[in-house]
Amino acid sequence: SGNLEWLDKNKTSFLIMWRRPEEWGKLIYQWVSKNGLTNSVFTLYELASGDDTENEEFHGLDEAMLLRALQALQQEHKAEIITLDDGRGVKFF
């Protein structure tokens, strides 16, 4: 039950998550901190598919889950999701 989330009120469809969004956010923030990238801005594409994250567990993460992970970081005041010309991005604090 910890990593299952119902997608509708009637409980006819659900999402099974390898990790909760908060856990993904923690992994992403650890990578940002470890590499001295606080106060940096990244596109969602760079985080999920960029060369710099190739060896990280969150590389290839679905965009919807990535956004939820970043929203969890935003609630902790560790990041801010921003709108860029070509889509969404994130600034880490």
- What is the CA 55 to chain-centroid distance, rounded? 16
Ordered structural domains, the chain, with CATH: 20-92 (1.10.10.10)
Contacts of 14 (CB under 8 A, 6+ apart): 4, 5, 6, 7
pLDDT per residue rounded down to tens, the chain (93 residues): 468 888 889 999 877 877 899 999 999 999 999 999 999 999 999 999 999 999 999 999 999 899 999 999 999 999 999 998 878 999 999
